[in-house]
Chain A
Amino acid sequence: MNDDAAPVGAVVDAGAAKRTVIVSSMASDSHTWNLVYLELLLGELGFDVVNLGACVPDELLRSEYLSRRPALLVLSSVNGHGYQDGLRVIRRLREFPQAHRAPVVIGGKLGIGGALTEDEVGQLLLAGFDAVFDDQRDPAPFHRLAAELSTGSAQLPVRVEGAEA
């Protein structure tokens, strides 16, 4: 268990930020098993994980992203509103071009009718996500991205689309 590796509320300096990953749901999603799992997984890869939990308001997400300056922001959603909410959230995070620009990825069950269409995945990438991980597909690309970021070998920003990467 990596309870000790999750310094919620810790002061993060620029050096430590490389090691910080934020894991979060979005405003209307209350599912948390996905977040608990991601927290453990990313902790095992050596990151300091900040888990923002259920129903995270857009403003909180944005302020945490800008102030903690994480190496990666992982949005995980399984309630079927992830596509709509993800588009809204990423536009707010990418609103100011000069703002912190670490990769932001989204995954889970993002629509109410099964896997997203290629067009929907494209819309999410176009809006500013660096990767979309649909849980109907192979989880390996997410694990690979996280592992590459943890060893510093990832080319940033990375663009991974589903299982194609």
Chain B
Amino acid sequence: MSFERFVASRHAAGELVVQPRMGFADPAAMRAGLAATRDAAAATVGTITLDSYTRVGDTDSVSRALRAGNPLNGYPIVNHPPEVTRAMLDGIEGPDFPVQVRHGSARPADIFRAMIAAGLHATEGGPVSYCLPYSRTPLDESVRNWSECCELLLAAEQPGSRPHLETFGGCMLGQLCPPSELVALSVLEALFFHRAGFRSLSVSYAQQTNLAQDQEAVAALRRLCAELLPGTTWHVVVYAYMGLFPRTAAGARGLLRSAAELAVTTGSERLIVKTVAEAHRIPTVAENVAALAQAASAAGTAVAPVDADNQVYREAHALVDAVLNSHADLGRAIVIAFKRGLLDIPFCLHPDNAGQARSHLAPDGRLGWSELGSLPLRRVVERARAGPITSSTLMSALSYVQNTHDARALARPMPAIGTDAR
């Protein structure tokens, strides 16, 4: 049942733990999805992704959809009675197959209660990463809610199995957030959980647009966590690209391969996969199982040497430092930092985000800053000169990864023209 012990033992055995995103409204379908995940040719963790009505606390819409047989985009853990969820997990979830709940809620108390009642103790999120991109909930309210939920989950600790929380901060908005701010947010949420009393954590980082820069980011994340999370078991979870995914199956597989390469070359312990169907619809169980097996086969590649004193580290350190100096209470510090623009997420529409900072995608695929707003990075970073953002420059930045991998996939049958068909 221990999430941390399972991941640590598979990692020690040289395996990359892989995990899908998966949620179905019907308990029988959810059970079948978990069983297929467990039986995939890989070291796997199961996922229960909740539906988006549950995420916003709209249990009435869940009830109506369940009654009418309308499809939901995830498992409604609050509406299904605990005994239904326990029965769904019975004989599947266990020491060799931990299951994590993923949701996206800034008001998650009911979700935590339902999860705990069903015997589940591993989830993910955070006061920033589950609020700013996903809701209209004021940030200070989200901070309070997440504090309370930390207490709920810690109080449910079982002997021999510590509850586990994963930060979602490394995935902010999915794409076009410079890696240093992703690292800073992941570290700050880990520290928020640490100060609440958690000693079993994982820290997320979502693949962006340049492998070398992403490797620097994971090295920076490791270094900051080593400095700031004493007495804690923590591991790194890499997310396969969360933006516009390649439309071709070969392009999607190529992108997943590079996500696995990022995970393995940085010594990361776990990878959240994406599938060939991502650009088109919610993937099937079979598509997820194929992605898990493909990603797991990347294990064994050597860890790449990355300078821990890199540009991403310097920026992330400056951001974290500025927040920690804003207030002794980290929750208050985070709220103050967003108010002052010391944290400012490019393109985020939430009312508590300053919206002055802007990111820029360089021709080599590195993500940087074109506008700093009030970010405390003036002596740390050089601003890229960027033209005005239009719908078409935004679309090309959003599509950069998709186009790169689709083009590479389509070029493969024609190596004669000299294209790098890797």
Name A's B-contacting residues (CB within 8 A). Answer: 1, 27-30, 32-33, 35-37, 40-41, 44, 51, 53-56, 79-81, 84, 109, 111-114, 136
| In contact, A112 and B347 (Cβ under 8 angstroms) | no
CB distance from A119 to the nearest CB of B (A): 14
How long is the Cα–Cα vector from A137 to B340 in the complex, in angstroms?
43
Residue in A28, A30, A44, A112 whose CB lies within 8 Å of B281: A112
- Cβ–Cβ contact B56 & A55, under 8 A: yes
Does B71 lie within 8 Å of A27, measured CB to CB?
no
Is there a chain A Cβ closer than 8 Å to B385's Cβ?
no
1/0 per residue, CB under 8 A from A, across B236-249: the answer is 00000001000000
User: How many Å lie between the Cα of A30 and that of B56 in the bound state?
Assistant: 9
Q: A27-B56, A55-B56, A55-B136 are in contact. List 11 more A-B contacts (CB 8 A).
A: A1-B389, A27-B58, A30-B135, A32-B347, A32-B349, A37-B395, A54-B135, A54-B136, A84-B61, A112-B72, A114-B281
Report whether over half of chain A's contact residues are helix, strand or loop; otherwise say mixed.
loop
Also in contact, A33 and B398, with CB within 8 A (given A81-B73, A111-B71, A113-B281): yes
Q: Decide if B281 touches A84 in the complex (CB within 8 Å).
A: no
Residues of A within 8 A of B136 (CB): 53-56
Of all chain A residues, which has the CB nearest B132? A54
How far does the Cβ of A142 sit from chain B's closest Cβ, in whole Å? 12
Q: Which residues of A contact B395 (CB under 8 A)?
A: 37
A28-B394 contact given A112-B281, A114-B281, CB 8 Å threshold: no
Contact B71 A113 (CB under 8 A): yes
Beta-carbon contact of A28 and B347 below 8 Å: no
The reply to whether B280 and A44 contact each other, CB–CB distance below 8 Å, is no
Tell me, in angstroms, the Cα distance from A28 to B135 when the chains sit together: 9
Q: How far is the CA of A11 from the CA of B51 in the complex (A)?
A: 37
Given A53-B136, A79-B73: A28 touches B61 (CB 8 Å cut-off): yes
| 3 closest A-B pairs by CB | A40-B391, A41-B391, A53-B349
Q: Is the CB of B282 within 8 A of A112?
A: yes
- Identify the closest chain A residue to B281 (Cβ): A114
Q: Which residues of B contact A35 (CB under 8 A)?
A: 349
B377 close to A (CB within 8 Å): no
Q: Confirm or deny: B55 has a beta carbon within 8 angstroms of a beta carbon on chain A.
A: yes
State the Cβ distance, A4 to closest chain B Cβ, in Å: 11
Residue B308, interface by CB 8 Å: no
Q: Which of B61, B175, B350 contacts A53 (CB 8 A)?
A: B350
Across chains A and B, the number of contacting residue pairs, with CB separation under 8 Å, is: 87
Residues of B contacting A: mostly: loop
- Please measure, in the bound complex, the distance between the C-alpha atom of A56 and the C-alpha atom of B350, giving whole angstroms: 12
Select one of B133, B174, B358 contacting A54, CB under 8 A: B133
B212 to chain A, nearest CB (A): 25
Q: How far is the CB of A37 from the nearest CB of chain B, in Å?
A: 6
Contact B281 A33 (CB under 8 A): no
Is B304 positioned at the interface, with any CB of A under 8 Å from its CB?
no
Residues of A within 8 A of B72 (CB): 81, 112
Residues of A with C-beta under 8 A to B175:
33
Q: Which residue of B lies closest to A38 (CB)?
A: B391
In the complex where A40-B389, A44-B390, A81-B52 touch, is A55 in contact with B134 (Cβ < 8 A)?
yes
Inter-chain contact A79/B52, CB cutoff 8 Å: yes
Contacting residues of chain B (363-408) with chain A, CB-CB under 8 angstroms? 388-391, 394-395, 398
| Nearest CB in chain A: distance from B280 CB, A | 6
Residues of A within 8 Å of B347, CB to CB, are 32-33, 36
Which of B141-176 touch A at CB < 8 Å?
A: 173-175
A30, A51, A109: which contacts B134 (Cβ < 8 A)?
A: A30
B350 touches A30 (CB 8 A): no
Q: Report chain A residues within 8 Å CB of B390.
A: 1, 40, 44
